[in-house]
Amino acid sequence: MTSSNASTRASDVLVRPFSLGGLDLPNRIVMAPMTREFSPGGVPGADVAAYYARRAAGGVGLIITEGTYVDHASAGTSDRVPRFHGADALAGWTAVAEAVHAADGAIMPQLWHVGMTRAAGAPPIADAPRVGPSGIPLSGSAQGHTMTLSDIDDVIAAFTTAAAAAEACGFDGIELHGAHGYLIDQFLWSHTNRRDDSYGGDITSRTRFATEIVAACRKAVSPDFPILFRMSQWKSDHYQARLAESPAELEAFLTPLAAAGVDAFHCSTRRFWLPEFEGSELNLAGWAKKLTGKATISVGSVGLDNEFIEVFQGRTGRVSDITGLLERMERDEFDLIAIGRALLNDPLWADKILHGRTNELTPIGPHKFATLR
């Protein structure tokens, strides 16, 4: 295939409008959430606004921000990760949304609670305990606080307040971070959830906490305000972990969330091309769409020849073509594709892909994480 034909194919596939709730997107390209830690005191500044606006101007259809801490003492583990509460931080986020909209983009904050992955004594609130469904860390033996029913209510309220704030600040939707072994995912995973009440037990019961957050957020925002839910099988440092060993188990997990008000599932995988279950080529996003009928976002090493852990370990990610991605999207296996490192490396990645300028794409090494550009 000539470069001209490849460019036309990419444009035909990716420049298709798509709707999420009341949000109309101009194309299928999403900026994946990536923690950057460039918000001193948890407040995003003009540099953060410019960072996201550059990606919007570069052709990204939807931006999902880095994870932002909800208003709960134990939600965070860094004072440089932005928070989504407090007048100063919300003013900063309002400016971010305005900058992205001025560049003709759409943007959603990712709402986050780290749970048991919080480092003891870490900011932003040093004396806040590490909390989780059963006080069990992902690895190691350092126990934390097992959440009471009152604690659960407090965290649900924190997510709900943040969702309402997002709409008030002019954002286009929200994403709930239910992946990678953080608090919501700690309830979902049997390794970290050993509860014997209604929030523990089988996969459907372990979904209750997440479902109640979704339902509460759904009530707190307008009916057509999109709610995305990010999920994963893998966890930080537990890359072989699985919530669901079969399509039936995945359906039992996703169905209550869909019914509670999720508009789209953002299915985090390290390599988007890998099948999720034996006997089918569908990846995790493909299965989520098939089982729920909801929109799905796929992600994982798009346009690069390695996955993100290898970059953190010092190996440069070289540019690779996206033929395999286009094939899956042509058959509508999933609806949207999230781009992480490639967009961190180059704010014009989308424009270059869509207009046949792939010769201008460059490899990405760990040094690219050192600045906000």
Non-local (6+) Cβ contacts of 207 within 8 A are 187, 188, 252, 253, 256, 257
d(CA 82, CA 40): 8
Place of tokens 């050993």: 194
Q: Of the listed 52, 69, 182, 199, which one is catalytic?
A: 182
Q: Are 215 and 150 in contact (CB under 8 A)?
A: no
Is residue 28 a contact partner of residue 61, using CB atoms and an 8 Å limit?
A: yes
Helix H segments across 303-363? 308-312, 323-330, 341-345, 349-354
User: Is residue 83 within 8 Å of residue 73, measured between CB atoms?
Assistant: no
Is residue 182 part of the annotated active site? The answer reads yes
Close Cβ partners of 101 (under 8 Å, ≥ 6 residues apart): 107, 170
CA 368, CA 372: separation in Å to the nearest integer?
A: 9
Q: Tokens 């259809």 label which residue?
A: 61
* Residues recognised as catalytic: 182
